[in-house]
A and B are shown apart, each in its own frame.
Chain A
Amino acid sequence: MKFAVVVFPGSNCDADMLHAIKDELGEEVEYVSHRTSTLTDYDGILLPGGFSYGDYLRSGAIARFSPVMKAVTEAAAAGKPVLGVCNGFQILLETNLLPGAMKQNDRLKFICQNVTLHVENSETMFTSLYEEGEQIDIPVAHMEGNYECDEATLQQLQQNNQIVFRYTEDINGSKERIAGIVNEQGNVLGMMPHPERAVDSLVGSVDGLRLFKSILLNWREKHVVTS
């Protein structure tokens, strides 16, 4: 499986994302410039964390107009897995590939710590190797991770089982403690916690690795013919 890690001016978790795929998952992966206009060569698209375009104006607001986002939208429409982490999640929200918006954390502080997440939906292509209701440890590092949406959107997320991860404790004011959501088709996941920073026991947790393994497993089931 071949992954693209999209690099925007100001991305800073791109190397961690590449490391997770190349060294821990053992799959092909390349950095791709935000100026790229096609992603047809890739099977999975990863939008890493950081501060795209310095977060000038709003997180993700300017990155949304990068040429690559048209290609990301096409990849999403084609059913390819698209994962946005932290700033990548914010970009997916600004692009309307996922519903809702991010506000500043309710205590107005940058939060950088390990958090415990509750796996709400283990039937997505990103979470099939987790148990439903399992608690996993994944670090967060964000200033604007306070998820906000209107009541109609929240109802839709709940009815379609689109809430994938919740914080076990309210860390940032997010509505319903939402930490990660998928689109209705289930192939675009946005999450504030960083699974790519939890793939090696050296740094305290390997709970993020199963997310990438789930993507790979799902892709192999669809694309690799077994005799």
Chain B
Amino acid sequence: MYKVKVYITLKNGVLDPQGKAVKGALHSMDFPEVEDVRIGKYMELLISESDQLEEKIDEMCDKLLANPVIEDYTYEVEEVVAQ
């Protein structure tokens, strides 16, 4: 069994309204050192033994989990013991 941790973020250059609002809040809380905030999504997929696992994860991300027009994704694959 594999645990796949998928991180989805807005592409560089795409303005992030949510990140901007949170950055403003951190500044008003007196954390002026915060230069930028980008907000994304985190997903965990539990996947059984499978051939070509990485190709399949790429396909899931490209087709559904991320929108390639505005989002990038990265992921980590971790082997776990089935419960």
Chain A positions within 8 Å of B, measured between CB atoms, are 57-58, 61-62, 65, 93-94, 99-101, 103-108, 146, 148-150, 173
Q: Is B18 an interface residue (CB 8 A)?
A: yes
In contact, B17 and A106 (Cβ under 8 angstroms): yes
List residues of chain B with CB within 8 A of the CB of A108: 17-18, 21
List residues of chain A with CB within 8 A of the CB of B21: 108
In contact, B65 and A103 (Cβ under 8 angstroms): no
The residue in chain B whose Cβ has the minimal distance to the Cβ of A59 is B67
In contact, B17 and A100 (Cβ under 8 angstroms): no
In contact, B15 and A106 (Cβ under 8 angstroms): yes
10 A-B pairs whose Cβ atoms sit less than 8 Å apart in the complex: A61-B67, A93-B69, A101-B69, A103-B10, A103-B15, A104-B17, A104-B18, A106-B15, A148-B70, A149-B69
Total A-B contacts with CB atoms under 8 angstroms apart = 36
Does more than half of chain A's interface fall in helix, strand or loop, or is it mixed? loop
In contact, B67 and A101 (Cβ under 8 angstroms): yes
The residue in chain B whose Cβ has the minimal distance to the Cβ of A146 is B17
In contact, B69 and A173 (Cβ under 8 angstroms): no
Q: Is B34 an interface residue (CB 8 A)?
A: no
Nearest Cβ on chain B to A99's Cβ, whole angstroms? 8
Nearest Cβ on chain A to B17's Cβ, whole angstroms? 4
Q: Is B81 an interface residue (CB 8 A)?
A: no
* B residues 55-79 touching A (CB-CB < 8 Å): 64-65, 67, 69-70
Q: Is B14 an interface residue (CB 8 A)?
A: yes
Partner among A65, A93, A99, A103 whose Cβ is within 8 Å of the Cβ of B14:
A103
In contact, B70 and A103 (Cβ under 8 angstroms): yes
In contact, B64 and A57 (Cβ under 8 angstroms): yes
A106–B16 CA distance with the chains assembled, in angstroms: 8
Nearest Cβ on chain A to B18's Cβ, whole angstroms? 6
List residues of chain A with CB within 8 A of the CB of B17: 103-108, 146, 173
A146–B16 CA distance with the chains assembled, in angstroms: 11
A104–B71 CA distance with the chains assembled, in angstroms: 13
The residue in chain A whose Cβ has the minimal distance to the Cβ of B20 is A106
| Given A108-B17, A108-B21, A173-B17, A101 contacting B70 (CB threshold 8 A) | yes
In contact, A100 and B69 (Cβ under 8 angstroms): yes
Nearest Cβ on chain A to B34's Cβ, whole angstroms? 18
List residues of chain B with CB within 8 A of the CB of A65: 64
A84–B38 CA distance with the chains assembled, in angstroms: 30
Can you list the 10 inter-chain pairs with the closest CB atoms, starting with the nearest? A101-B69, A106-B17, A101-B70, A101-B67, A148-B70, A104-B17, A108-B17, A108-B21, A58-B67, A100-B69
A106–B67 CA distance with the chains assembled, in angstroms: 18
A58–B67 CA distance with the chains assembled, in angstroms: 9
Nearest Cβ on chain B to A108's Cβ, whole angstroms? 6
What 1/0 mask marks residues of chain B from 10 to 49 whose CB sits below 8 Å from any chain A CB? Answer: 1000110110010000000000000000000000000000
Nearest Cβ on chain B to A183's Cβ, whole angstroms? 15
The residue in chain A whose Cβ has the minimal distance to the Cβ of B43 is A57
